[in-house]
């Protein structure tokens, strides 16, 4: 499996690049923000609780998002791999992701971090807020709080992957296609190698997939 963590502050371009990556590599996109917004749209109890926290630009409790990722991994067991977008956001989430993926016999190959300065992030999100339905894009104070929470609670997750030699940083300012090409170059270095052709053909589906 090919499992990539796409990392960066709010507005860095994680969602934009995820769409392009899933199309190219046939991966499943797992955005905890999107999963939470789906819960809000469905009016679930979880969604109601999460909405208050998200509208303030704060982080939803670890156990909630870890549970959502656990469910998503269970229901996508045939996937070629995953793009994790906006997850993990704390070191506790990162260690849980390793544990969950290990349970499926796989792991994270690489984290790609999109680096964008705060004024560009604010500009992008205020612009998107003119047309998006996202309440957390609607006012500059809340957007700045999301960026501040990223620095205080999330940025350290980069160090977790750096110690495993899986961390790659990219300049997230520039053309979307240019940045996409740079992400692909990194991912291509981490593609799991195809098994060598064997003289003895596999005799069962499980052997063929091993
Ligand atoms: P989430 O939905 O993850 O939002 P976010 O991280 O705040 O980031 P965005 O989705 O706003 O930005 P993005 O990086 O995806 O950029 P995009 O491609 O959209 O989280 C929302 C909330 O949910 C959190 O605040 C938290 O409350 C909760 N949550 C989610 N996950 C959680 C977790 N794991 N733990 C706890 N809580 C969690 O681009 C932004 C804009 O820029 C777009 O308009 C786009 O068109 C534009 N753009 C993109 N690339 C470029 C470029 N290269 N040049 C110019 N413009 C560009
Ligand atoms: Mg996003």
Alpha carbons 77 and 199: distance in angstroms, whole number: 29
Domain boundaries, position 87: 2-205
Active site (annotated) includes residue 89: yes
Distance 1 CA to ligand 2 centre (A): 23
Give the residue, by CA position, lying nearest to ligand 1 atom 30. Answer: 33
Please check whether residue 160 lies inside any domain of the structure. Answer: yes
The closest alpha carbon to 88, from 151, 31, 10, belongs to: 31
- The pLDDT of residue 133: 81
Please check whether residue 171 lies inside any domain of the structure. Answer: yes
Distance 74 CA to ligand 1 centre (A): 25
- The pLDDT of residue 194: 53
Please check whether residue 39 lies inside any domain of the structure. Answer: yes
- The pLDDT of residue 203: 39
| pTM, rounded to two decimals | 0.92
Distance 207 CA to ligand 2 centre (A): 38
- Judge whether 87 and 36 are in contact, CB under 8 Å: no
Q: Which ligand has the nearest atom to the CA of 54?
A: 1
Token pair 């704390």 is found at 90
- DSSP-derived letter for residue 139 is -
- The pLDDT of residue 38: 97
With the most atoms of ligand 1 within 8 angstroms of its CB, the residue from 11, 62, 113 to mutate is 11
Report the CATH number at residue 110: 3.40.50.300
Q: Which ligand has the nearest atom to the CA of 87?
A: 1
Alpha carbons 195 and 17: distance in angstroms, whole number: 29
Number of domains observed in the structure of the chain: 1
Please check whether residue 210 lies inside any domain of the structure. Answer: no
User: Cα-Cα-Cα-Cα dihedral of 133, 134, 135, 137, to 10°?
Assistant: -120
Active site (annotated) includes residue 14: yes
Active site (annotated) includes residue 128: yes
Interacting residues of 44 by C-beta distance below 8 A, sequence separation 6+: none
Strand partners, 29: 83
Backbone angles phi, psi at 28, to 5 degrees: -95, 135
Where the chain has pLDDT below 50, the residues are: 198-210
């Amino acid at each position: 499996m090919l499992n990539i963590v796409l990392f960066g502050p709010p507005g860095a371009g994680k969602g934009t690049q995820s769409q392009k990556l899933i199309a190219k590599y046939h991966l499943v996109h797992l955005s905890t923000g999107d999963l939470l917004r789906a819960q809000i749209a469905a009016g679930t109890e979880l969604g109601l609780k999460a909405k208050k926290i998200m509208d303030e630009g704060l982080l939803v409790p670890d156990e909630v998002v870890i549970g959502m990722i656990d469910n998503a991994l269970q229901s996508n067991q045939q996937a070629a791999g995953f793009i994790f977008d906006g997850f993990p956001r704390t070191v506790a989430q990162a260690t849980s992701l390793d544990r969950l993926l290990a349970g499926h016999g796989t792991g994270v190959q690489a984290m790609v971090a999109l680096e964008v300065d705060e004024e560009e992030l604010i500009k992008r999100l205020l612009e998107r807020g003119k047309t998006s339905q996202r309440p957390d894009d609607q006012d500059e104070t809340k957007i700045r709080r999301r960026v501040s929470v990223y620095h205080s609670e999330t940025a350290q997750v980069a160090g977790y992957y750096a110690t495993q030699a899986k961390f790659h940083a990219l300049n997230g300012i520039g053309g979307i296609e240019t940045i996409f090409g740079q992400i692909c170059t990194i991912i291509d270095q981490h593609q799991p190698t195809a098994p060598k052709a064997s003289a003895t053909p596999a005799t069962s589906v499980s052997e063929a997939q091993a």
